Structure 1
Amino acid sequence: MKRGRKPTIDAAAITRAAIAVADAEGLAAVSMARVAQEMGNATMALYRHVKSKDELLTLMGDAAMEEPVPLPDGDWRERLGFWAKAVLKAIGRRPWFLHIPISGPPTGPRSLAWFDSGLRALEGTPLEAGEKVGVVMGLMTFVHGEAKLSSTLVRGHEDNPAAFGRDYGRRLRELVDPRAMPALAEVVAAGVFDLDDLFTAEDAEAEFDFGLHLFLEGVAGHIGGRT
């Protein structure tokens, strides 16, 4: 009985196998040896196409984002807001993406495609090229930060939901000295933290929308100043 031919090894195939491992077992499970096992090849065979695990992680981070969705019709604000939510949704499909170290500006084809899409959302504005880059990179930083915070809170809530209940508000009343932290004491006294559950999916979405609104307001103010 003849054995079937082994699949062709190249950087793209190695990246797909690594993503399959991360999807099933998490990013911590990804190693050159584990990916080689997934592909049914010797570990050294992979190094002919991907030089190191760091390079593999970079390739995974680019491939994990998938292709950007087309921007809708509308003004720059609607388009940029849509882009931000599309980035958040793309990240959410693979939570391990947030744990890939960022070692430099985007260079992968999909990362650059998302970058291009964000810049195109600002077409028709009076912003200079460098300003457009600043807006897109700033918004990307906001989206990544919100996604990572939300992911961390989800895990914390799953491990200890009681920590997100009314006990938190009661603890703050004991810990916060109005003389040392007057602004926080005012918020605590207003009952902001007196909730049965401080973290829900709806709350996370609302907080993202509010943060996005503030970011876009800032960009609109800057554009208004330019015109």
Structure 2
Amino acid sequence: MDQLPRTLRVLWDLEPKPTRSTGPALSRERIVRAAIELVDEQGMDALSMARLAERLGCATMSLYRHVASKDELQAVMLDAGLAEPPRQDDPNDNWRAGLETWARTLLAVYLRHPWMPRMEITGPPLSPGQLGWLEAGLVLLHDTALQPIERMSVMLLVAGYVRTEATMAIVGDEVRRDVGPDSARETVEQVAKLIDPQRFPALSEIVESGAFTSAPFDFDHFTYGLRLILDAIAVRANHQMTGP
């Protein structure tokens, strides 16, 4: 396990804990909890080791005995912020209902911690929290006709969809909060007038229908898109097929 990067060793609790006192009840768990509270309140731009130390009432250098860097701290924050995935307790529930609950629960996590879906993806899901969510989804698909590699692909697809939709929702909320909902809608309407039918014939049809200006405000894109994904998965899950 020594070959693992330090951040993964920390996430899997393979790194030794400090043995010397570093302030009043200071621990990695307390540092991470305070960091999550800080960025939930003020956004990721507000996070610095100095500001976090001030919040915890300790010296900045004390933090580095528990987390080696700000990047490592953010990785641990992401894993801790995910919390526990939903479990399918009712054996009568089918995979589709379970996967929809999984997706909606993950969406709620992201909306509760708006910084999470906007963090840079630096590699495959390898932390305990990420793999816990992956495991919970794979269990739902276990008794379908999907091959193991297909189950993995399905979960990556659904997870990516939820992350993207959460990011769009968060950005939209920020825009409407900053400029007001009426101003945000007016901006979309003004852009719609700039769409030339000669240059954007397909998009112009959408504009004429009114869908372009209503889409960001009145349509439940998440539910619609998730339904399409689940419909496609069902075709594969209910019929044994060979090849991708």
Q: Could you tell me which residue of structure 2 aligns to residue 107 of structure 1?
A: 126
Whether 1:68 aligns to 2:69 is no
Match of 1:37 among 54, 57, 64: 54
Q: Report the counterpart of residue 43 of structure 2 in structure 1.
A: 26
1:104/1:198 CA distance change after superposition, 3 Å: closer
Amino acid at match of 1:37: E
1:213 aligns with 2:232: no
Match of 1:83 in 2: 102
Over aligned residue pairs, what C-alpha RMSD do you find?
2.3
Aligned residue for 1:165, secondary structure, equals helix
Equivalent position amino acid for 2:168 in 1:
L
Residue by residue, what CA displacement relative to the aligned partner does 1:174-194 show, whole Å, maximum 9, x if unpaired? Answer: 322222221111111223246
Farther off after superposition, 147-156 or 26-35 = 26-35
1:145-160 equivalences in 2 (<5 Å): 145-160=164-179
Question: Structure 1 residues 106 and 194, CA, compared in 2 at 3 Å: closer, same or farther?
Answer: closer
Q: Name the CA distance, whole Å, in 2 between partners of 1:47 and 1:151.
A: 32
Runs of 4+ more than 6 Å apart: none
- In structure 1, how many angstroms separate the alpha carbons of the residues matched to 2:23 and 2:65? 16
Distance 1:164 1:134 in 2: 36
1:115 alignment partner, SS class = helix
- The answer to whether the aligner puts 1:50 opposite 2:67 as a matched pair is yes
Offset from partner CA, 1:140-199 (integer Å, 9 cap, x none): 000000000011011112223334436644642x3222222211111112232465x951
Question: Aligned to 2:115, what secondary structure does the other structure show?
Answer: helix
Deviation at 1:15, TM superposition (A): 0.9
Distance 1:153 1:100 in 2: 17
Tell me what 1:199 maps to: 217
The code of the aligned residue for 2:74 comes to L
**How has the CA–CA distance of structure 1 residues 176 and 82 changed in structure 2, closer, same or farther, with 3 Å as cutoff?**
same
Give the deviation of 1:132 after TM superposition.
Answer: 0.9
CA contact 2:195–2:204 (8 Å) conserved in 1: yes
Q: Please, which runs of 5 or more residues in structure 2 have no aligned partner? A: 1-21
Match of 2:182 in 1: 162
Question: Match of 1:199, as an amino acid?
Answer: F
Change (3 A) 1:225 1:181: farther
Aligned positions, number = 217
User: How many angstroms apart in 1 are the aligned matches of 2:79 and 2:235?
Assistant: 33
TM-score (norm 1): 0.85
Cα 1:11–1:187 shift into 2, 3 Å: same
Amino acid at match of 1:59: V
- Looking at structure 1, the residues matched to 140 and 33 of structure 2 have their Cα atoms a distance apart, in angstroms, of 30
| 1:66 maps to amino acid | A
**Residues 164, 198 of structure 1: 8 Å contact kept:** no
Give the Cα separation in 1 of the matches to 2:172 and 2:35. Answer: 26
8 Å CA contact 1:66–1:110 kept in 2: the answer is yes
Contact 1:71/1:83, CA 8 A, preserved across alignment: no
Alpha carbons 1:58, 1:100 under 8 Å: kept: no
Cα gap change, 1:192/1:17 in structure 2, threshold over 3 Å: closer, same or farther? closer
Q: 2:187, 2:52 → 1: CA distance?
A: 45
Deviates more, 1:119-128 or 1:184-193: 184-193
Distance in 2 of aligned mates of 1:54 and 1:168: 37
How far is 1:215 from its partner? 0.7
- In the alignment, structure 1 residue 9 sits paired with structure 2 residue 9: no
